[in-house]
Amino acid sequence: MPEAPEIAATYTGEVASSKRERGDRAHGPRRLFRGRVLFLLPAVIYLLALFAYPIVYDILLSVRQSSVITFVHNTGGFVGLTNYRMAVTNPLLPGVVWNTAIFMVGSIVMQFSIGFLIALFFTRRFPLSGFLRSLILVPWLLPGVVTGIILRMMFDPNIGMVNQVLSNLGLIHSPIEWFANTHLALLVIVLANIWIGIPFNMLLLHGGLQDIPNELYEAARVDGAGRLRTFRSITLPVMRPVIAVVLVLGFIYTLKAFDIVMIMTGGGPMNGTQLLSTWAYTLSFYNLDFGQGAAVGTIMMVISLVCAFAYVRTYRGELRS
């Protein structure tokens, strides 16, 4: 373990300064240190084996040659950035990036706005509010496959409820083939993802709203501020850190989205709902081009990591305050 010497250094440095540690000396520092590390060691090994190693493996895959032959024998040679070049110049890439962008912006904007409105509504006091609020969490707790298949049925051209409601309202005269048109299919998976995302946004934002001290609102009322003004001058500024966390998490999760797209459209029709995540899967597991698939995966990971650091920074900022 590369960590071991560092831990040891920490231990000797800290034992003298920290009052809490002093009583431990009787047991002998070395034995104690070993005892303590044993609690953390499984987790460290776990993280190295099941996160660090696969990540490195993925990067290595992305810079090695891959074909059906190397897939079987695992003997691809180093080819530098060829796989990345192939992915970037792939004729499908512009469409996939566009779909991913639409999917992410549409999902995040809508799930955040609707989630925020519902969260604001549930700050009111009325009977059963806690119970009803917890029911809203259901879509978020459901496995993605369940959500995907239910919504797939609701948008079914023949028996789906959506077409039926639209035709009852007189808005359409013949059934809409939701999954036969690239734009409509993309719209449907965005709607599905919004439905999944609302509860999560609502939950975190409601938590943040509950933590705003009532005195602030009262002070605003005394000063004669209206509702909109209070929202703009008090709610929004106080909620900034929570909003940042919600948006960053939304970004990371939306980029990862995979299950509902696979279930509802499988990336089709004609790659019209192919996102970076499903495309990486298709490249590796359908085309057996693990090099290119891994290259796309690595690009996603980099985007995610950039965002993760923003997340960690806001998260730490929130902890301090």
Partner 1 sequence: MSFQRRRRLISGLNVAVALVIVGVMLLPLYWAVVTSLKTLHQSFATPTALFPPTPTLAAYSQVVHTQGGSLLTSFIIALGATVVSLLISVPAAYALANFRFRVTWLVTLSLLVAQTIPGIVLGTSFFKIFAGLHLLNSYLGLIIADSTYCVPFSILVVRAFMIGLPRELLEAARVDGATLLGTLLRIVIPLSRPAILTAALFSFLFAWGDFLFALTLSTSNTVEPMTLSIYSYMGQYTSQWPELMAAAVFAAIPSAILLILVQQGIRGGMATAGLKG
Site membership for partner 1, residue 252 (CB under 8 A): yes
Instruction: Judge contact between 83 and 234, C-beta under 8 A.
Output: no
| Interface positions, 98-127, toward partner 1 (CB under 8 A) | 118, 121-122, 124, 126-127
Q: Which position among 86, 120, 149, 288 is part of the footprint of partner 1 (CB under 8 A)?
A: 149
Q: Which is nearer to partner 1, 90 or 233 (CB)?
A: 90
Stretch that binds partner 1, among 86-94, 95-103, 218-226, 313-321 (CB under 8 A): 313-321
| Interface positions, 276-305, toward partner 1 (CB under 8 A) | 277, 280-281, 284-285, 290, 293-294, 297-298, 300-301, 304-305
- How far apart are alpha carbons 242 and 236 in whole angstroms? 10
Task: Build a one-symbol-per-residue string for 13-52: x at contacts with partner 1 by CB under 8 A, - elsewhere.
Answer: xx---x-x--xx----------xxxxxx-xxx-xx--xx-
Residues 6+ apart with CB under 8 A from 190: 102, 103, 106, 107, 110
| Residue of 182, 146, 171, 207 lying closest to 274 (CA atoms) | 182
Residue 166 Cα distances to 185, 253, 280, angstroms = 17, 31, 36
Give the count of beta carbons closer than 10 Å to the beta carbon of residue 8. 15
| Interface positions, 208-237, toward partner 1 (CB under 8 A) | 208
SS3 for 127-142, per residue? CCHHHHHHHHCHHHHC
Q: Which position among 68, 138, 171, 270 is part of the footprint of partner 1 (CB under 8 A)?
A: 138
| Residue of 211, 215, 209 lying closest to 235 (CA atoms) | 209
Task: Build a one-symbol-per-residue string for 163-182: x at contacts with partner 1 by CB under 8 A, - elsewhere.
Answer: -x---x--------------
Task: Build a one-symbol-per-residue string for 61-100: x at contacts with partner 1 by CB under 8 A, - elsewhere.
Answer: x------------x--------------------------
Q: Which is nearer to partner 1, 34 or 232 (CB)?
A: 34
- How far apart are alpha carbons 196 and 300 in whole angstroms? 21
- Amino acid present at 96: V
78 pairs with which residues across the strands? 64
Stretch that binds partner 1, among 77-85, 91-99, 197-205, 231-239 (CB under 8 A): 197-205
- How far apart are alpha carbons 204 and 243 in whole angstroms? 9
Stretch that binds partner 1, among 81-89, 180-188, 222-230, 251-259 (CB under 8 A): 251-259
Q: Which position among 96, 239, 242, 243 is part of the footprint of partner 1 (CB under 8 A)?
A: 242
